[in-house]
Amino acid sequence: MPIQVGDTLPNATLSRMGENGPETVELSSLTTDRKVVLFGLPGAFTGTCSTAHVPSFLRNAEALKAKGVDDIICVSVNDPFVMSAWDKDTGAADGGLTFLADPESTFTKAVDLAFSVPAIGFHDRSKRYALLAENGVVKAVNIDEEAGVCNVSSGETMLDAL
């Protein structure tokens, strides 16, 4: 069953590009004693992810932070090199978002939000979702079930939930 309100986020080792190349980051280090929005999506540089999902959080980053959100984290089943390139392409870091890679889909599987479409090269990718966690406990979770659509998992919907 996918992660639900009241569940504790599983700790996971994710990755990002650091000054000296790829580095790991424990998700708990970003969520303990903090209020975070975490959103997942099928893949960097993909259609809806690049044209709707990430832009919805960029548009709403300041408003979310004004409501007490400490960090807005995007998790995708990609490698840290791809996530870094996508970050630069979208201006995510400059817009207040943190991009983290889940290269082996460990976190995505732990929250039961993985799916596969082998015909297009998607193996254990993330469903489109957004959640709010306070001190690692899920307070809201919105999962888009329809492929190629960003409705309930958008930055606007998350802002309305606050």
Task: For residue 8, give the DSSP letter.
Answer: B
End-to-end CA distance of the chain: 24
Angstrom distances, CA of residue 71 to CA of 64, 90, 137, 146, 149: 9, 17, 15, 27, 24
User: Are 23 and 16 a contacting pair, CB within 8 Å?
Assistant: yes
H or E element, residue 124 = strand 122-126
Is there a catalytic annotation at residue 150?
no
Dihedral, CA of residue 9, residue 12, residue 16 and residue 20, to nearest 10: 140
User: Are 32 and 70 a contacting pair, CB within 8 Å?
Assistant: no
User: Are 40 and 57 a contacting pair, CB within 8 Å?
Assistant: no
| From 49, 58, 77, 101, the catalytic residue | 49
Could you tell me the two tokens for 139? Answer: 């307070």
User: Which residues are marked as active site?
Assistant: 49
